Amino acid sequence: MLAGALSTFVLAFMLKAISEARAAATTAISATVMGTFWIGGGLGFVILIRDISVYGRLTIITVLLAVWLGDTFAYAGGRLLGRHKMAPATSPGKTWEGFIFGTAATVLVTFFALYPKRHEFLTIRESIVLGVVLALAGPIGDLFESLLKRDAGVKDSGNLLGGHGGMLDRLDAFLLAAPAAYFTILAFTS
């Protein structure tokens, strides 16, 4: 990962040198390198999670389900009961009520997915803590991507998925949740 990141820095510098774009070099190169670390690094943790003991694949599926279902329940809870805006300037649709629904769903999914392996992998308490970590990391990753979109002046990160906003909009929470999950599990299993 380090070699890839360093080569991205050099490549971004070379492309900016030959580019006719008017953006400042610092901004253009920084954005390219940050994108590499954020997206490539976040997805790189999927491989690290997979390699955690014999339960790596179960853990990847658990993290994916917990983050995506948490996001879905946060959306539904926010639409149903949302009154108090979480970050109105960054993501005006996010509410604290939705966050509570999403947190509950994330913790429950994590608990139930890992419960059968509670004597071999993570205990009940550790599964709940992992769920809480995912419930916090997912929305932070989502808000981070919303902040970048606001800065760039775009509503969606792409149009590949129609009304879903683009691939990055589907992965934003996971890009922060995967490293958070990896380090939490590493702390419990070391």
Diameter of the chain by CA atoms? Answer: 60
Q: What pLDDT does residue 30 have?
A: 79
Q: For 30-76, what is each residue's pLDDT tens digit?
A: 777 888 888 888 888 999 999 988 899 999 999 999 999 999 999 99
| Residue that wins the pLDDT comparison between 119 and 158 | 119
How far apart, in whole angstroms, are the C-alpha atoms of residue 91 and residue 98? 13
Quick one: pLDDT band at residue 184, thresholds 50, 70, 90?
very high
DSSP 3-state percent helix, strand, coil across the chain (nearest 5):
75, 5, 20
Q: What pLDDT does residue 83 have?
A: 93
Conformational region of residue 153, where left means phi above 0, alpha means psi within -120 to 50, and beta covers everything else? left
Q: For 8-19, what is each residue's pLDDT tens digit?
A: 778 887 878 888
70 in Cβ contact with 106 (< 8 Å): yes
How far apart, in whole angstroms, are the C-alpha atoms of residue 104 and residue 95? 14
Whole-number percent of the chain with pLDDT over 70:
92
Any idea which residue has 């694949």 for tokens?
57
Q: For 128-173, what is each residue's pLDDT tens digit?
A: 999 999 999 999 999 998 888 777 777 666 555 555 556 677 788 9
